[in-house]
């Protein structure tokens, strides 16, 4: 029935042969898939906030460095010509000159502007911290919600599969009984209807499971 419905959806004739290369039973994932706990650090939003927080710290360090005084040593050594005659070949008029000094620069005017920058940087740091904590809480809740949905959909899929297999077995047994005249045709039709419903429930549960897996991968930042 499912193949006939697929042909109907594809708008092909019922006589057309269709070969299915994939099977629902192939939709399996590793058992350790549900044990991943890196949902926070792998999310792009969290990474962006971490980078923004790191940038803010670098800006804070630069602001602190701008108000620090600078100390430097100065030195000079050379010979000066000390005569009103421009006869530079006479060595007696050349006298050595040298000096050594210490230079200290204090950015007095920079204190005012840096204080304003420090206040703005502190406010921005507090804002980033609150955004990061809120985003972590949101991601953690989304992870727990998607994990619960995934676990429930997995159990529903297994239950629906067992019901479908049981219904298929019952239908085959009743069909064999009908062929030997031990089962009524009307009852067989009811069993076939139940089998179709079990098949549709199984397919629907597989679809829900695939959607839950996609949501879970998105929640842990592993969605490709």
Provide the residue-wise pLDDT of the chain in tens; the chain has 224 residues: 567 766 777 787 878 887 766 666 665 554 445 444 555 677 788 888 889 999 989 988 887 777 777 888 888 887 776 766 776 666 666 777 787 888 887 777 667 777 788 888 889 899 999 998 888 888 888 888 888 899 899 899 999 999 999 999 988 888 888 888 887 888 888 888 898 999 899 989 988 998 888 888 888 877 65
Q: Is residue 56 part of a domain?
A: yes
192-203 pLDDT, tens per residue? 889 899 989 998
Q: Is residue 2 part of a domain?
A: no
The mean of the pLDDT values for the chain is 80
Q: Is residue 51 part of a domain?
A: yes
Q: Is residue 152 part of a domain?
A: yes
Range of the domain at 149: 31-81+93-219
| Helices and strands: H and E segment counts in the chain | 4, 2
Q: Is residue 5 part of a domain?
A: no
Q: Is residue 38 part of a domain?
A: yes
Q: Is residue 224 part of a domain?
A: no
Residues constituting the chain: 224
Cross-strand pairs, 72: 103
DSSP string over 101-168: EEEEE--HHHHHHHHHHHHHHHHHHHHHHHHHHHHHHHHHHHHHHHHHHHHHHHHHHHHHHHHHHHHH
pTM of the model: 0.58
Q: Is residue 20 part of a domain?
A: no
Rounded Cα–Cα distance for residues 91 and 28 (Å): 97
Number of domains in the chain: 1
pLDDT of residue 39: 59
User: Dihedral of CA 169/175/181/187: which sign?
Assistant: positive
């Amino acid at each position: 029935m499912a193949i006939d419905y697929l042909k109907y959806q594809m708008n092909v004739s019922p006589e057309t042969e269709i070969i299915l290369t994939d099977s629902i039973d192939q939709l399996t994932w590793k058992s350790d898939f549900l044990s991943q706990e890196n949902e926070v650090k792998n999310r792009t939003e969290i990474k962006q906030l971490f980078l923004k927080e790191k940038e803010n710290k670098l800006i804070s360090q630069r602001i602190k460095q701008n108000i620090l005084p600078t100390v430097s040593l100065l030195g000079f050594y050379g010979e000066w010509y000390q005569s009103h005659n421009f006869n530079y070949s006479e060595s007696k008029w050349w006298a050595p000159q040298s000096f050594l000094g210490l230079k200290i620069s204090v950015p007095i005017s920079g204190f005012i502007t840096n204080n304003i920058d420090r206040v703005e940087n502190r406010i921005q740091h507090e804002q980033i911290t609150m955004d990061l904590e809120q985003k972590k809480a949101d991601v953690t809740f989304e992870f727990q919600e998607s994990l619960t949905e995934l676990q429930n959909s997995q159990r529903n899929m297994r239950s629906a599969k067992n019901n479908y297999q049981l219904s298929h077995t019952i239908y085959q047994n009743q069909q064999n009984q009908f062929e030997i005249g031990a089962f009524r045709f009307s009852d067989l039709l009811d069993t076939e209807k139940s089998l179709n419903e079990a098949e549709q429930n199984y397919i629907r549960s597989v679809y829900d499971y695939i959607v839950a897996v996609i949501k879970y991968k998105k929640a842990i930042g592993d969605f490709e």
